[in-house]
Amino acid sequence: MKYRELGNTGLQVSEIGKGCEGFSEDECRNTKRLFDEAERQGINYFDLYASDAAPVRQDVLSEYRLWKT
């Protein structure tokens, strides 16, 4: 994976990102698997925008962070 610096922050973000808008469609059952696969491939940029009434659930994202600790 190639990375680029995010502005002048010193943070390195992957050139490829993962869109998360559809994660809520299956009640977030596959969220952990999708994040694990993205991480395995070096992706560290996630687009959390949701244009409809089913936004990406912040509680699921928080749980994923807990799984990683």
Helix spans in the chain (H): 31-40, 58-67
Number of domains in the chain: 1
Domain span at residue 57 reads 3-67
Question: Residue 34 in contact with residue 18, Cβ under 8 Å?
Answer: yes
Instruction: List the one residue out of 61, 51, 65 whose CA is nearest residue 28.
Output: 61
In whole angstroms, what is the distance from residue 29 CA to residue 16 CA?
23
pLDDT of 17: 93
Assign 45 to helix, strand or coil.
coil
Q: What is the pLDDT of residues 3-57, one digit of tens each?
A: 999 999 999 999 999 887 777 667 777 888 888 899 899 999 888 776 665 555 6
